[in-house]
Amino acid sequence: MEIAVIGTGYVGLVTGAGLADFGNDVICCDIDPAKIDALNNGLIPIYEPGLDKIVERNVHEKRLRFSIDLAEAIRHCRAIFIAVGTPPKANGAADLRYVEDVARTIAQHMNGPKLVITKSTVPIGTGRLIERILDESGNGHKGSVVSNPEFLREGSAIEDFLKPDRVVIGASDKESIALMKEIYAPLHSLEIPFVVTNVESSELIKYAANGFLATKISFINEVAVMCELLGANVQDVARGMGLDSRIGPKFLQAGPGFGGSCFPKDTSAVADIARQYGYEFEIIEAVLRVNKNIKQRMVGKVVDAIGDVRGKTVAILGLAFKPETDDMRDSPTIPLIKGLQEKGAVIRAYDPGAIENSKKIFENVIYCGDAYETADGADALVIATEWNEFRALKLERIKKLLKQPLIIDLRNVYDPQRMKAEGFTYISVGRSEDIRVRERV
Ligand code: UDX
């Protein structure tokens, strides 16, 4: 099918490339000529493993092209995916300005029936809003609105797109559902489950799924606090819980709190949607509070381990909100580094992908070229993001480089017994082997 994807940010680009890989003819559009120019010259503006290859392959096979001519793309294509940003407003609600602009542009250039699909995470009711815009200004042509939320994880977005757990389709007529099944035909034949429902349910599925996953993380992070207070081990507790098939083992990794482009934004948006309807979504409100407190708690963990941090140097390994991404949005390292700087610490830091983006956020951070340069002369080493290269550090070398053998591991990457045997004072999250934590209790 001929498809236009409007918005070539993270979601749009992965969606466009993935849909082309399914055999569709795709035009990815954006209003930013510099971005389209770069893409036409083979430059991918975001860091996502495998994205360059899939874009290159589909451009080469002439199923994928990039354009700033929205009007032409709208006229040419039967299906139009909206994948523009829905950034949070000051009150946490999603800003729909860009989605509405695109809907108006589609309405203006409609020259036949169009399937308009929202891929961006949009508040419940947005599908109906777009339908109204198309009805009011669509030159008498029929625009059918479908909700088809994405569940892409940064770092594994291509795999998530090509082999999703499910495809959610929210539509109100049979023809739209049939067209969506045609677009995703290869997934249908792979027997990936399709959840077909109405537009509102589909919009809510995205928020409910992300809200539930965020709840799991905040829950295990609070269990980790309990473990520290009681002398238990959060990894054993998580395993003991996760083996119950009703709970499942995933998303029970305790750490410094969740960040990224989705969980913080979507949880506060769904809380806001509930409030607009006169309801307080209490669990989600608590998840947001817990996440903020957990992030702040990490500052205390480092300070407790070092003592007074004034004038002390803290080496931070990992800046991005998770490995395999350059994304700094809501990264737990932001309150951590700012909190330590406020207390007078000097920060040295290294991240394999996120240094450029970090420079826009922090001041007075000394950026280093690798883990060893970062550790050199520091009073403590903090593992803040679990990039693979931090899982296999040459510990003997790190020990020699640090002023004192102190590691604070916020991602529970290492085995506490081993670290003790290697001569480190090792502090992690929610593990009773953490001698200092126990002493504090
Ligand atoms: C998430 C969802 O997984 C995806 O379906 C949605 O479309 C977008 O949001 P993403 O933000 O890329 O994807 O990352 P994810 O791997 O889900 O991790 C989010 C955050 O939770 C990270 O900060 C991560 O470190 C944290 N996390 C995750 C934990 O602290 N513990 C866990 O067990 C899992």
Predicted pLDDT of residue 46: 87
SS3 161: helix
8-39 residue pLDDT tens: 999 999 999 999 999 999 999 999 999 999 99
Among the residues of 111-170, which ranges form H helices?
126-137, 157-162
Q: How far apart are the first and last CA of the chain?
A: 63
Nearest CA residue ID for atom 31, ligand 1: 253
How far does residue 385's CA lie from ligand 1's centre (Å)?
Answer: 12
Ligand 1 contact via 430 beta carbon (within 6 Å): no
Give residue 434's pLDDT: 53
161 lines ligand 1 (CB under 6 A): no
SS3 percent helix, strand, coil of the chain, rounded to 5, is 45, 15, 40
C-beta of 10 in contact with ligand 1 (< 6 A): no
Report the atom number in ligand 1 closest to the C-alpha of 153.
12
CB 379 near ligand 1, within 6 Å: no
Would you mind telling me the total number of residues written for the chain in this entry? 441
Assess contact for 171 and 195: CB atoms under 8 A: no
Q: Cα 52 vs. chain centroid, distance in angstroms?
A: 19
Determine whether 262 is an active site residue. Answer: yes
Which percentage of the chain shows pLDDT scores above 70? 98
**Measured distance CA(164)–CA(149) in Å, rounded:** 12
Q: What is the pLDDT of residue 82?
A: 98
For residue 254 and ligand 1, the question of a CB distance below 6 A is answered with: no
Mutation to probe ligand 1, out of 14, 119, 263, 385 (largest number of atoms < 8 A from CB): 263
Mention every residue, 6+ apart, whose C-beta is less than 8 A from residue 370: 350
State the closest ligand 1 atom to the C-alpha of 331, by its place in the atom list counted from 1. 23
Taking only Cα atoms into account, the Rg of the chain, rounded to an integer number of angstroms, comes to: 24
Q: Confirm or reject: Cβ of 256 under 6 Å from ligand 1.
A: no
Tell me which of 28, 227, 262, 368 is the catalytic residue. Answer: 262
Q: How far apart are CA 336 and CA 111, in angstroms?
A: 53
Q: Is the CB of 14 under 6 A from ligand 1?
A: no
CA separation, residue 377 to residues 313, 338, 346 (Å): 8, 21, 11
Give, using CA atoms, the residue closest to atom 34 of ligand 1: 251
CA distance 147 to 130: 11
Cα angle value 170/251/155 (rounded, 5°):
75
DSSP label of 152: P
> Measured at the alpha carbon of residue 288, what is the angle toward residues 439 and 433, in degrees to the nearest 5?
20
- Protein residue closest via CA to atom 14 of ligand 1: 153
The pLDDT, as a whole number, for residue 230 is: 95
Q: How far is CA 373 from CA 165, 364, 367, 406, in A?
A: 41, 17, 9, 16
Confirm or reject: Cβ of 154 under 6 Å from ligand 1: yes
Confidence check: pLDDT of 437 > 80: no
User: Given pLDDT bands bounded at 50, 70 and 90, which one contains residue 433?
Assistant: low
Atom of ligand 1 nearest to the CA of 332: 23
Return the structure tokens found at 213. Answer: 């996953």
Enumerate domains of the chain plus CATH numbers.
2-196 (3.40.50.720), 209-427 (3.40.50.720)
Q: What is the mean pLDDT of residues 192-219?
A: 97
Kindly tell me if the per-residue pLDDT of 2 is higher than 90.
yes
pTM of the model: 0.93
Centroid of ligand 1 to alpha carbon of 392 (angstroms) = 23
Task: Give me the long-range contacts of 34-40 (CB less than 8 A, separation at least 24).
Answer: 35/8, 36/8, 36/66, 36/67, 36/68, 39/8, 39/13, 39/66, 40/66
Neighbours of 344 (CB within 10 A): 11
Q: Which atom of ligand 1 is nearest to the CA of 330?
A: 23
Please tell me the distance from the alpha carbon of residue 94 to that of residue 103, in angstroms, as a whole number.
Answer: 16
Whether residue 120 is predicted with pLDDT greater than 90 in this model: the reply is no
pLDDT digits (tens, 9 = 90+) for 246-297: 999 999 999 999 999 899 999 999 999 999 999 999 999 999 999 999 999 9
What sign results for the dihedral spanned by CA atoms 166, 171, 173, 175?
negative
* Cα 161–Cα 156–Cα 326 angle in degrees, nearest 5: 125
Position 112 pLDDT exceeds 50: yes
Whole-number average pLDDT of the chain: 95
**pLDDT level of residue 47 (50, 70, 90 thresholds):** confident
Strands 167-170 and 425-427: unpaired
Which residue among 119, 262, 327 has the greatest number of ligand 1 atoms within 8 angstroms of its CB, and so is best to mutate? 262
How far is Cα 233 from Cα 226, in angstroms, rounded to an integer? 9
pLDDT for position 267:
94
Q: Residue 37's pLDDT is what? A: 96
* Cα-to-centroid distance, 263 and ligand 1 (Å): 7
Q: Which residues contact 277 (CB under 8 A, 6 or more apart)?
A: none
Average pLDDT estimate for 68-73: 97
The residue contributing the CA closest to ligand 1 atom 20 is 258
